[in-house]
Amino acid sequence: MSEERIKVNYKPLWKLLISKDMSKGELRKKTSIAASTFTKMVNNENVSLDVLVRICCVLHCGLDDIVEIERKTIF
């Protein structure tokens, strides 16, 4: 029997920050995201939708511009 695992990946966010010439620290300040939450994102852990929406508002983008969903089938 197989099981599907779903993980988030924030690679698109880091690439977007580079293209906008913005540091992670700058983004954290502009969005008032806690350092611990930002650490979760660096480690590709789940964060609240509210955090993602705040990032999208600051960067003027959509969720799909900052998050990838990875699906992995485990047997």
pTM of the model: 0.86
The structure tokens listed for 55 are 């990032």
The pLDDT tens digits for 3-62 are 778 899 999 999 999 999 999 999 999 999 999 999 999 999 999 999 999 999 999 999
**CATH architecture, range 3-74:** Orthogonal Bundle (1.10)
CA-nearest of 14, 56, 50 to 34 is 50
Residue type, 26: E
pLDDT on residue 72: 79
pLDDT on residue 43: 95
* Cβ–Cβ < 8 Å for 52, 66: yes
CA distances from 64 to 9, 42, 53, 68, 69 (A): 11, 17, 11, 7, 9
User: 8: helix, coil or strand?
Assistant: strand
Per-domain boundaries in the chain? 3-74
